[in-house]
Structure 1
Amino acid sequence: MNKSVDLAAALSEFDEPWSPRTVALMNDYDVRVVKTRGEFTRHSHPETDELFLVLRGTLTIRMDAGDVTLGPGQLYVVPRGTPHQPVSAEGAEILLIEPSETVNTGDTPSELTAERRVA
């Protein structure tokens, strides 16, 4: 990947929610885009933090300590090991930064577990 990344173009290439696409690599990290809609699996990532940056729409991250609601241009880092559940009733477009080996459903595999896809 030796070129600039057009996030809008990357997001226009798929419609299925909760199916992240890796659009860039940074050391051992993936920069991923994902479309959200509805409720995702409650899970945690015992070994890593997870960065959520909202590009479009609204995303709520449900956590035991309280919900965090994000709009366009806002980001939140979920600390490693923190159970969380992303939710977006209307749908949103999100940028994620996490280690390349990170599975989207963390320690709670479900029907929403997605294989790593590099765009």
Structure 2
Amino acid sequence: MEFVRRFAPDSLKPDVFDHRPLADLESCLIEGVRAPEGSTGFPRHKHPESDQLFFILEGCMQLELDGEQHAVPAGSTVFIPAGTPHRNHYPHPGTELHLDVLLPPPARGLPLAEAADEDESGGPGTHYVLPPSDDLGIEIVPGFHVRDLAHSGTGSSYASMRLAHVDPGNDALPWHIHEFDQLYFILDGTLEVEVANHRHRATRFDLVVLPAGVPHRNWNPGPGRESHLVLLVPEPAPGVPPDLGVDFRLNGHSFG
């Protein structure tokens, strides 16, 4: 498996709305999207079985969400429950970049979306646009802050998404595993990731894919603070420790 995948906006079409899958898993579908000024996304539509999360990386998205208009700047999070009509376009100056997450992904062979009529409204949940903030969130271990962006309490029943900030030199978590898929998307700085005995240096716009049960550890080598999105699919149940420590080392034996 390719544990680190790069979102390279320059590889997408420069003059039209374009997108590319970064991770197509059983638990979620994540795409990187590039939209130049004046472009338009898909016509008004809905995702019948999938919740959708946007995180705006650069620029500004103009979003019609269930009949309401939102100008969504960089650093914002959008949650769109399954069945909620929406569309997005890009009248604002400059190029817009965002992550698009579908939870769960549509079944193989089915379309990603269905058309929604102009007068169609509603959906089985509460949509929202969360603006950017300078709040670092809660310090869960020394030098490691997280702020919740989406979780079961906000209506996201399939996953939680957080914004994490890691101080340089932080190596608070030794080898561990999760009972859920974990994905990091690097926003700023450098994150060293060791997974299944291979080391990777993840930098801005890298997506780190850590499937359930795969031993890993990560730290910020510096020199500055590192920031990344954290997606946990599914969200851990209340009271269940998310990180399970393991002793992991190669023993020198090979088979086959």
TM-score, normalization: structure 1? Answer: 0.73
Aligned residue identity for 1:12:
D
Residue 63 of structure 1 pairs with residue 65 of structure 2: yes
State how 1:56-95 maps to structure 2 within 5 Å. Answer: 56-90=58-92, 91-95=95-99
| Residue equivalent to 2:31 | 32
Count of paired positions: 106
Task: Tell me if 1:6 matches 2:18.
Answer: no
8 Å contact kept, 1:62–1:85 = yes
Higher relative contact order (CA 8 A, sep 6+): 1
Task: Name which one, 1 or 2, has greater alpha-carbon Rg.
Answer: 2
5+ residue gaps in structure 2? 117-256
After TM superposition, give the deviation of residue 45 of structure 1 in Å.
Answer: 0.9
Are 1:108 and 2:106 matched, yes or no? no
2:50 aligns to what?
Answer: 48
Q: In terms of mean alpha carbon deviation, does 83-92 or 15-24 score higher? A: 15-24
Query: 1: CA distance between counterparts of 2:76 and 2:58?
Result: 10
8 A contact 2:48–2:83 mirrored in 1: yes
Aligned to 2:181: none
Map Cα deviations across residues 55-95 of structure 1 (whole Å, 9 max, x no partner): 11100210234223221121101111111011111441111
- What is the CA–CA distance in structure 1 between the aligned matches of 2:101 and 2:53, rounded to whole Å? 5
The percent of aligned pairs where both chains have the same amino acid is: 23
For 1:74 and 1:13, the matched residues in 2 are separated by 24
Which position in structure 2 is the counterpart of 1:114? none
Q: Does 1:15 align with 2:7?
A: no
* Moved beyond 4 Å, runs of 4+: 100-104
TM-score normalised over the length of structure 2: 0.37
Q: Is the 8 A contact 2:5 2:22 kept in 1?
A: yes
What is the match of residue 127 of structure 2? none
Give the aligned residue type for 2:50. T
